[in-house]
């Protein structure tokens, strides 16, 4: 009798590791496959970068409160963010779309309006894809191709002890935006006449519905002459993604709770919903900020950039990832972020 192992017993990352064990690249131009934000392909003078993401209705988005135009924008931004995490420049995008018969031509137009706007903002071309029918709602897959100079690529597995740990923007906003939207959905389902209470919460709602990929910081790091020693984008949550860098680099890390960049609206929403703001910053997903490490010598070049916060440092204690709390104690960080 064959053994049956439930996928839930492995989790998303355990499943990826299991798949990766059975796959070997054989072509000389395949520099890196599974395990980073994008695959790396040798193009001669440059590296090519290739990434893909999939979004399923009911799992990754809820059309009760997600405008199709915003959804189109977010899907492109999410793919672009993977290229940014390799310190690369995105160039082309393809979209695969599966639609059920409840979607009209006008709905598809609205979705692609958002995609076209994102392509314009991030200076990429939408060059093709595939469309098919679906029996389970809307399914969208995005693939992004980009490029990076060989001496400027950033991987996940190259962080070094004593490197400084940096993050762009602020954290936890997308998660709090989602919690507010979910709350208002439940209120609406209970009483369709109730008006949503989202006044003054524009920023965290925008963080969930229309995030930005941080290509601006990629360009600014280049202008400052700084190449990250490692980098990842924050799609699953700070704790989870930092653990990826540390596990793949064979290092540990210390981050300081008081250094976590959290917007005032995120604090207010967290207080309203009785969720710790630091918990949202550490474990909330979909911020699409960049988490990266730099050598200490790079500090002077980027210390005055208002988009970058230094939140900790890398240690040589393999696998020991700790949060230095405001109460001056240290607690181990575990991955409680988003696990598909």
Angle (deg, nearest 10), helices 215-223 and 68-84: 30
pLDDT at res. 336? 59
Comparison of pLDDT for 72 and 4, the residue scoring more? 72
Whether the pLDDT of residue 338 is over 60: the answer is: no
Q: Can you tell me the mean pLDDT for 72-91?
A: 98
Whether the pLDDT of residue 322 is over 90: the answer is: yes
Q: Can you tell me the mean pLDDT for 51-77?
A: 97
pLDDT tens readout for residues 123-145? 999 999 999 999 989 999 999 99
Rounded Cα gap, residues 182 and 180, in angstroms: 5
Rounded Cα gap, residues 139 and 60, in angstroms: 10
Comparing 53-57, 147-151, 189-193, 267-271, the range with the smallest average pLDDT is 189-193
pLDDT band at 22 (very low <50, low <70, confident <90, very high): confident
Comparing 26-30, 32-36, 122-126, 334-338, the range with the smallest average pLDDT is 334-338
> Left, alpha or beta for 237 (phi > 0: left; psi -120 to 50: alpha)?
left
pLDDT at res. 290? 98
The tokens describing 167, both together, are 């993050």
* Percentage of residues in the chain having pLDDT higher than 90: 84
**Under 8 Å between Cβ of 314 and 161:** yes
- Residue 250: alpha-carbon gap to chain centroid: 22
pLDDT band at 155 (very low <50, low <70, confident <90, very high): very high
């Amino acid at each position: 009798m064959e053994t049956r192992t439930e996928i839930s017993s492995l989790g998303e990352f355990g499943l990826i590791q299991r798949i990766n064990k059975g796959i070997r690249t054989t072509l000389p131009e395949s520099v890196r496959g599974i395990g980073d934000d994008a695959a790396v392909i040798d193009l001669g003078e440059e590296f090519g970068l290739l990434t893909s993401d999939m979004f399923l209705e009911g799992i990754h988005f809820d059309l009760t409160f997600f405008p199709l135009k915003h959804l189109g924008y977010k899907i492109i931004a999410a793919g672009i963010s993977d290229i940014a995490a390799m310190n690369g420049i995105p160039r082309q995008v393809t979209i695969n779309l599966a639609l059920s018969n409840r979607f009209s031509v006008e709905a598809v137009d609205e979705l692609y309006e958002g995609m076209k706007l994102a392509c314009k903002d991030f200076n990429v071309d939408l060059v093709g894809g595939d469309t098919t029918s679906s029996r389970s709602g809307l399914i969208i897959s995005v693939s992004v191709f980009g490029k990076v100079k060989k001496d400027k690529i950033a991987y996940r597995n190259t962080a070094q002890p004593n490197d400084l740990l940096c993050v762009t923007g602020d954290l936890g906003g997308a998660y709090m935006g989602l919690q507010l939207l979910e709350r208002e959905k439940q209120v609406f389902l209970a009483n369709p006449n109730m008006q949503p209470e989202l006044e003054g919460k524009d920023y965290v709602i925008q963080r969930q519905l229309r995030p930005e990929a941080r290509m601006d910081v990629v360009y600014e790091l280049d202008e400052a002459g700084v190449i990250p020693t490692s980098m990842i984008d924050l799609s699953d949550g700070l704790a989870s993604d930092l653990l990826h860098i540390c596990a793949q680099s064979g290092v540990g890390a210390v981050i300081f709770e008081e250094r976590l960049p959290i917007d005032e609206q995120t604090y207010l929403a967290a207080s309203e919903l009785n969720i710790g703001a630091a918990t949202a910053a550490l474990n909330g997903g979909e911020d699409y900020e960049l988490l990266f490490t730099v050598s200490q010598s790079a500090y002077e070049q980027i210390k005055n950039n208002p988009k970058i916060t230094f939140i900790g440092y890398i240690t040589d204690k393999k696998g020991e990832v700790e949060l230095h709390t405001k109460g001056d104690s240290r607690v181990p960080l575990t991955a409680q972020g988003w696990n598909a």
